[in-house]
Structure formats: structure tokens, C-alpha cells
Structure 1
Amino acid sequence: MGFGDTVDRLKYTKPERKYILIDMKRIKSYTIIAILLSSGFLVAWINDYSQVSNKWKLGVEIYTFHRFTLAEGISKSDSAGVHYIEAASFQKIGDEIEKGYISQISEQGLVKLNKYLDKHHIKIRSVYVFGGSSLDSWKNGFLQAKKLKCEFITAEPPRNLWDSIDSLAGVFHIKVAIHNHWKGKSAFWSPDSVLAAIKNHPNFGACPDLGHWPKSGVDAVSGLQKLQGHILAIHLKDASQMNDPNARDVDLGTGVVNFKAVLEELKRQNYKGFIYIERDADVRPSNLPSVIKEISYYNDLLRNL
């Protein structure tokens, strides 16, 4: 091979090598872009999940542990990994804190309760109040909620006291989240009746119980749409069937409520508030395993929104 042959070969091999290098650069560039894009989507997904989970404060409605004292319910809620509970005025406190009911707690008992809550990393932000037929009974409910530093009480106020209870809520700076049971047991079984109570009562809001609505034939998503802008908290619960007041309380996702659609609707509404898991069922030895299972189910749905 002479010098001329060598020059001719270089003329052909150099462009070929250059072409190969350019192609590799393109491949590397596409790979980097793909990684950046996928990372961007991942970051966006994480941010979206964080924003939703931060807006929705997951907790336990203490009636879930209604066979136990408040102290025991706090301990079990801590074991489930939540940081919020909704207390109930009719529940016994627990001898390790104070004898009696939460509605009768003393200042000394309140100090012990707060220490117990801190120990278990739990906060009470609302309390279910039965109230009664007299305004004094409702005033006492607000006083107890104030002591507990609640943001709202969950209740079913009687029609003749709406104006007075709304005024009390304004005085105490504590909202009233209207709760529903089923048709025949509650005047608020329909979202429309809740809206009627809220009208002209600026301190009233809603706490829809998603497991009670099906018993009256109310679709959960439709109910939430009607109450948009008024929801202070939600009782997350399922029911075995529609249009049956005797429908059983079942694990989330095993009944008739479409929880994926429920969470999507709450996200659409830009809902900010409490979501309390609640079990009416009396599972032995306790509802704790069920609550842990339902929290996992909830988190799985949240991650896929």
C-alpha cells in the first residue's frame, strides 16, 4: 500500500468515524433528555402527592374505639400512625387521666390529657357533641371544645336552635360541622337538608359521613359536589349496600362507595380539611387492625390520584 492509498483510505474512514461519533452524541443527548423528563414527571408527581396529603389531615374518629376509653383510643390511634383524632363528648376519659366523661373533664384532667396526647403525638382538633334540646347543653359543648382547643364541633343541631347555636359558634370562634346519619334516624340524611341548615348560618359547615349516605340512597360523589365549599371534615366509611338502613359497616373499598372517585372529587374541589377514618363495626378484640388496613388503602389511592 502506497502513500496515495493511505490518503484515500483516510478520506473515507474519517467521515465514517465522525458520523459514528455524532450518532453516539445524539443517543447520549436523548438519554439525558429522557432522564430529565422522567425526573421532572417524578418530581411533579411527588409534589402533587405532598400537596394533597398536606391539605388532607388524616385521623381517626374516636367512635372507632367506642368500647374503649379515650385514653385507650388515643393509644390505638398512635399505633395506627395517625396524628389527629375527633373526640366524642360521651366517651369515658380513662382512669389513667381522670374518671368521668370528656364532657366533664376538669382543668387538672385537661393538663393530664394534653400530656397524654403529646406522649402519643396526637392532636384533638374536633369533638363530636350530642348537644340536646336546651341551649345550655350546647353552650357546655362549646365550652368543652374550647378547652380542648378544637377548630369545630361535629353535631346534628335541632332545627329550633339553629340561630342560637350559630350565634354561640360565633362567640366561641368554633365552627359547627353538621353530621349525617341515615334517613329515619337523622334530619340531615340528605345533603340538601344540610345545605338548608347552612343557609344564613355562617358558622355552620358540613361533616359528611360517607358510610351513612348509601343507606339513604345518596351517592357519595354527588353528595360531596352539593356540599362543595362547606366541608370541614369527612368521616371515611363504607357500607355493604345502597338504600338499606341496615347496611353493614365494612372495610373501605369492599362496599358500595367509590373512594377513588371520592378522592378525585375532593382534589377537584381543592379540599383542605380533616379526613377521619371511622368504623361502626365492633370487631374483636378491636378495630385497630382494620384501621391500619384502611390507612394503607387510603394511602394507595392517594398515591395514584
Structure 2
Amino acid sequence: MNPRRNFLKKSIIGAVSATLVDGVYNSVEAKPLGGAHAKDEPFKLGIAGYSFVNFNLDQSLEMMKKVDVHYLCIKDFHLPYNSTAEQIATFHAKLKSFDVTGYAVGPIYMKTREEIDKGFDYAKRVGVNLIIGIPNHEDLAYVAEKTKEYDIRYAIHNHGPEDKLYPNASVIYDLIKNLDPRLGICFDMGHNKRDGRDSVADLQKYSKRIFDMHLKNVTAATKDGKTCELGRGVIDIPAYVKMLRKVNYTGSCSLEYEKDMKDPLAGIAESVGYFRGACDGTR
């Protein structure tokens, strides 16, 4: 049988089991990836908050509990930019009750320097040390100065061939390579592939400046490619996992699931399970 099909079979079985055994995995001893070897991986499995754009925080956390994922990139529809200290504390308490850690904020579009200032202030008040952002090219030096001022890392997100600013990781790297090393990349491997790039090779090439990534597969390496379940696209996920280990990536791999966004749990569960199967199956 095709190795990728083996991984997919494993994913569905594991995901269904995790969903049925509600609450078993939600403990302080939970492993970042799940499975026997998860504690040996240098990277963590998370979920990008945009995956839950149609759901409130409680609904989102319930889905994370079902698939045993414990890291969340925070979006403003769950924690608004103007949140008070009390609201932020309540938000973190809610996450903690589900054994979830909010590790970053964004993506945040920052079209002016005022919006950049507000973004860094927001991250500081939320208590994270990573912003996923999209600034204008002419403001990159200013963003780099803010990373020094706040000692908060800033990862620029690529959005594929439609994105005139940052279509792929190579474009981002060329713009930031001589700027403060706290300025890096949020590597959307799916959109990178849609721009005709080899996402496994680019992970290796730009790994030193990749601070976060959106775990995503796509149906084609073209502009018309659509996001899909992790094991059903054109990116070789087992090869990608091997490269994560080779470059010793230590950040989060946050699933950004953009298919069936009004009913995403089955696709999220399949994708999470597939990723865990790929991790176990490539050792």
C-alpha cells in the first residue's frame, strides 16, 4: 500500500479515537503531538486561530480538546485588540481550563506605523513574544526597530500568488535577511506551494528565519490550488516532517484549516491525525 495512504488510515483511526474518548487527553501531562514519540519531537502542534473564524472561543476550545491540540495562535475575533487587562486575564484563564496555551497573535495586517505600534502594544499586553503580521515593504525597517524595542519576534506571513507583497518565503527572506534577526517568517507551506515553490526545500533554505508555520496542504501547485485535508494534497507531508527534524525546527506547526470552515471538525481531526501518523511513521 502507498505509504501516504498508510499514514491517512492511521490518522482517521487516531482522530476518531481521540474524539470519542472525550476528556482523556485534556490533562497537564498532555503531549504536544500525541502518540508514543511526541515528547521526542523538537516542534509543537498547534492550530491557527483563523481555522475557527465562524466559532466563538468556547466552541473553538472544545474542538481543540477533541483533537488533543494544546497550542493556539490567537486571532482578534476571540480577543479584540482593545481588550482590557481584565478581559485578557479572563481569556487566558479560559484557555488554561482547556489546557491550551496562546503562544502568538495574528495574522494582523499593519498598513500604517500607527497600526504597527498598536500591534506590538497588543502583543505585550496579551503576554506573547511572537506576532504574525503583514506590514508594508516600506515599513520593514520600522518593524525591525519595534522588535528590538519590545524584544518580541515578528513573523511575516506569505499568502501565495494573489499576494503582491509576500507571495512566498523567498520574497520575505530577501527583504528581511539584513534586518534584525527577530524579524522572520510565518511559513504558510500551502500558499508557498501555490506560488510554484517547493515547500520542503524552502523549509530547509529559510529555516533559520522561520518562527512559525501554517500547516496546510493544497490540491495543486498553482494559483487555482485549494486548501484540503493535510494528507490529500500535493505536498509530501512525511518528507516535510523529516525536514522539520533535519533543520531542528523548534516552533509551532499550526494547522490552518480553511476547507469546510463552517463545519471543520472532521477535516481538522483527519489532518491532525495524519500529521501525528506521519511523525510516528517516519522514524
TM-score by length of 2: 0.82
RMSD of aligned Cα (Å): 1.7
C-alpha deviation, 1:197, in angstroms: 2.4
Out of 273, 280, 283, which is 1:296 matched to?
Answer: 273
Q: SS of 1:227's equivalent?
A: helix
Report the secondary structure of 2:104's partner residue.
Answer: strand
Instruction: Determine helix, strand or coil for the equivalent of 1:161.
Output: helix
Tell me, yes or no, if the aligned pair for 2:106 and 2:133 is still in contact at 8 Å: yes
Alpha-carbon spacing, 1:123–1:66, altered in 2? closer, same or farther (3 Å)? same
Distance 1:189 1:52 in 2: 33
1:178-212 Cα shifts (integer Å, max 9, x gaps) = 11101132422132211122222222111111111
Contact 1:239 1:250 in 2 (8 A): yes
Structure 2 residue corresponding to 1:106, chosen from 71, 84, 90: 84
For 1:210, the equivalent position in structure 2 comes to: 189
- How does 1:187-202 map onto structure 2 within 5 Å? 187-202=165-180
Partner of 1:219: 198
d(CA) in 2 for partners of 1:139 and 1:77?
31
> Judging changes above 3 Å, is the alpha-carbon distance between structure 1 residues 148 and 186 closer, same or farther for their aligned structure 2 residues?
farther
1:229 maps onto 2:216 in alignment: no
Aligned residues of 2:75 and 2:106 also touching (Cα < 8 A): yes
- 1:71-220 alignment runs, 5 A limit: 71-89=58-76, 91=77, 93=78, 102-202=80-180, 203-220=182-199
Deviations 1:92-140 (A, max 9, x none): x3xxxxxxx5212111211211211111111111111424322111111
Provide the rounded CA distance (Å) in 2 between the counterparts of 1:131 and 1:187.
Answer: 12
Structure exhibiting the larger radius of gyration computed from Cα positions? 1
Q: Distance in 1 between matches of 2:110 and 2:144?
A: 15
The AA in structure 1 aligned to 2:60 is: G
Distance 2:164 2:56 in 1: 26
Structure 1 match to 2:13: none
Alignment partner of 1:61 is 2:60:
no
Distance 1:197-1:52 versus aligned 2 partners, 3 A rule? farther
Going from structure 1 to structure 2, the CA distance change for 1:304 and 1:155 (only over 3 Å counts) comes to: same
Q: How many corresponding residue pairs?
A: 246
Paired AA for residue 207 in structure 1 = C
1:241 aligns with 2:220: yes
**Is residue 255 of structure 2 the alignment partner of residue 268 of structure 1?**
no
CA shift for structure 1 position 71: 3.9
Contact 1:62–1:70, Cα closer than 8 Å, also in 2: no
Point out the structure with the larger helix share.
1
Measured after TM superposition, the shift of residue 50 of structure 1 is: 4.5
Q: Distance in 1 between matches of 2:112 and 2:167?
A: 23
State the 1:263 CA deviation: 0.8
SS in 1 for 2:210: coil
Q: Percent identity?
A: 22
Q: Distance in 2 between matches of 1:274 and 1:105?
A: 25
Residue 110 of structure 2 contacts residue 133 of structure 2 at CA under 8 Å; is this kept in 1?
Answer: no
Which of structures 1 and 2 has the larger relative contact order (alpha carbons within 8 angstroms, sep 6+)? 2
Displacement over 6 Å in runs of 4+: none
TM-aligned CA deviation for residue 283 of structure 1? 4.3
Q: 1:70 aligns with which of 44, 57, 66?
A: 57
Tell me the amino acid that sits aligned with residue 138 of structure 1: I
Deviation at 1:228, TM superposition (A): 2.2
Unaligned runs of 5+ in 1: 1-47, 94-100
How far is 1:61 from its partner? 0.5
Structure 1 position 52, deviation (Å): 4.0
Q: Distance in 2 between matches of 1:142 and 1:204?
A: 13
Task: Give the unaligned 5+ runs of structure 2.
Answer: 1-35
TM-score for both structures, normalised by structure 1: 0.76
